[in-house]
Chains A and B, each alone.
Chain A
Amino acid sequence: DGGITQSPKYLFRKEGQNVTLSCEQNLNHDAMYWYRQDPGQGLRLIYYSQIVNDFQKGDIAEGYSVSREKKESFPLTVTSAQKNPTAFYLCASSQGAWQPQHFGDGTRLSIL
């Protein structure tokens, strides 16, 4: 089945620690996205990538970093600079502009 796989489903971070969230897609989509979801705030864009080896900051990129070395993969690192990382993180992909974005089932990150 084609789709987006996010792992792990739950992740815990200690103070001062960087953690990396995995996102893999087998839809052959060019574009990939990372969103953060907090209660009552909808989905906010962290980073997006239109093509391999290129990515742009979204609305809330501070404290996060990404890489896009392969078309299928777009990992997100939550760095220790992100002071309020507790949230539900969603990865998506699309074929391009004016195309629907397809979402994975998310990773819930909590602070220990």
Chain B
Amino acid sequence: QQQVKQSPQSLIVQKGGISIINCAYENTAFDYFPWYQQFPGKGPALLIAIRPDVSEKKEGRFTISFNKSAKQFSLHIMDSQPGDSATYFCAASGRTYKYIFGTGTRLKVLA
């Protein structure tokens, strides 16, 4: 019940394409869903986060779509650029301070 399942494990996209990463959770007590971007040798950096009271949140080229009934949420990167090549993690948390992280998606955007 505490797992967050993330897919795909790796993703290759052409420059200008759309990158889509999916996550699924089981614990209905989760109500905060952030996405992080991590470059090699660096710590993860918050990209965007969503609460379940909205179905979509957009910040620049990054969009989170949230489906509460299916217990799924996804990150869409529009107009993907080579500089977006990184590892992306979804996470989920509730009233506790603890995050449960997905296992990560390694994205490569081809120039």
Q: Which residues of A contact B (CB under 8 A)?
A: 4, 6, 31, 33, 40-45, 48, 50, 58, 90, 92, 94, 96-98, 100-106
Contact = CB atoms under 8 A, between A and B. Distances in A.
Given A42-B103, A43-B89, A96 B34 contact: no
Interface size class of B (residues with CB under 8 A): 20 to 34
A1 to B, nearest CB: 14
Interface of B: 6, 9, 31-32, 34, 36, 41-46, 49, 51, 89, 93-99, 101-104
A43 B6 CA distance: 13
A58 B49 CA distance: 23
30 contacts: A6-B43, A40-B9, A40-B104, A41-B103, A42-B6, A42-B89, A42-B103, A43-B44, A43-B99, A43-B101, A44-B101, A92-B43, A94-B97, A96-B97, A97-B94, A97-B96, A98-B93, A100-B46, A100-B49, A101-B46, A101-B99, A103-B36, A103-B43, A103-B44, A103-B45, A105-B41, A105-B43, A106-B41, A106-B42, A106-B43
Contacts of B36: 103
Contacts of A48: 97-98
Contacts of B31: 98
A91 to B, nearest CB: 8
Contacts, number: 59
A4 B43 CA distance: 10
Secondary structure at the B interface, as helix, strand, loop or mixed, is: loop
Contacts of A96: 97
B42 A105 contact: yes
B98 A58 contact: yes
Given A42-B89, A43-B89, A97 B42 contact: no
A56 to B, nearest CB: 9
